Amino acid sequence: MDKNSETPAALGYRMPAEWEMHTATWLSWPRREGISFPESFDRVLPALRAMIEALIGSEQVCINVSNGAHEAEARAVLHGLPMERITFYPVATNEPWCRDHGPIFVTRASDPRVAVVDWDYNAWGNKYPPFDLDEVVPTRLAEILKLPVFYPRMILEGGSIDVNGNGALLTSESCLLNKNRNPNLSRNDIEQRLRDYLGVSDILWLSDGIAGDDTDGHIDDLTRFVAQETVITVVEESRDDENYEPLEQNLARLREMKIDGRTLDILTLPMPKKIVREGLRLPASYANFYIANTCVLVPTFADANDEAALSVLRQCFPGRRVIGIDCRELIWGLGTFHCLTQQQPAV
């Protein structure tokens, strides 16, 4: 159903904050022949299993698979887990990054209470063709779930935005204003679509992303809301690191920002030490955590700062288990837990 004649915001919809209650977490199971984990597919499977094992203690897990053989592969990896907490859906994908290709769910008090926003998708600026299967995932899932769909006609990945559920949205100029996404849209055009389709009012712009991030600076490696007026942002302690200056600039911007006339409460997360593999700087960041109903999944990197990051996040989420999972193999795919997940809010 295309409800494009009336925008979600006009109909009373909003995008909830990630810490609000979920019905489920959605994932797309990686394909061995995909490009995300070159020559290391089997080495990422333990982290995927650990992620799902943690999630099923919190909520239902829904996994997109291409066909029966693909589902059988996933089941073999997950053998021994309580499978009644896992549902497989026949939705083919190119790559596993469900945050970016999956549906963004919006909610409202009146029926239909949940809807899907299907943003256009071009694999982070046409970097990784083919992406034809990923591009249609939101509408495919909306058809399966029998939910209305809205079409903003704008390229946007879920990892490029973060919301507080109460009108504020964080994003970055390096990604959303990049000409490889929406060359014909101005900043004002983009802001208007965010307001119309996600029900936000305050749009908070950071500048650049971290080194090695092939998404052109997704916010979910930088700065996240952890409460309506509180953000947590990564900082680099070493002045010699190429991330030092851009992250300091983002911190300075955050200090100037206001929501409803009030300045933000700002917490900081350290960065792990630089990780280089086969000559490539990898975008390792503790900000790529995922907030589930009863737990928070945090990527760790066998790094001296792992425990400090976990400690800060435990202070942010005292009612949830904060679980660190080794992502040294997973980050070879240039993303971790937030990139792999998409929450379906409860109503």
Task: Confirm if 44 and 81 have CB atoms less than 8 A apart.
Answer: no
DSSP tag of 177? T
Nearest Cα residue to 207 out of 250, 145, 162: 250
3-state secondary structure of 309: helix
Write a three-state SS string for 45-64: HHHHHHHHHHHHCCCEEEEE
Is the Cα dihedral 236, 237, 238, 244 positive or negative? positive
Burial class (CB in 10 A: 0-12, 13-18, 19+), 317: middle
CA dist 56 → 24, 77, 78, 283 (Å): 9, 15, 11, 27
Considering 98, 175, 327, 339, which one is annotated as catalytic? 339
Q: Does 339 qualify as catalytic in the annotation?
A: yes
Separation of alpha carbons 120 and 2, rounded Å? 14
Strand 114-117 and strand 104-107: the pairing is antiparallel
CA distances from 178 to 46, 47, 84, 174, 208 (A): 35, 32, 43, 6, 11
Q: Among all residues, which ones are annotated catalytic? A: 339
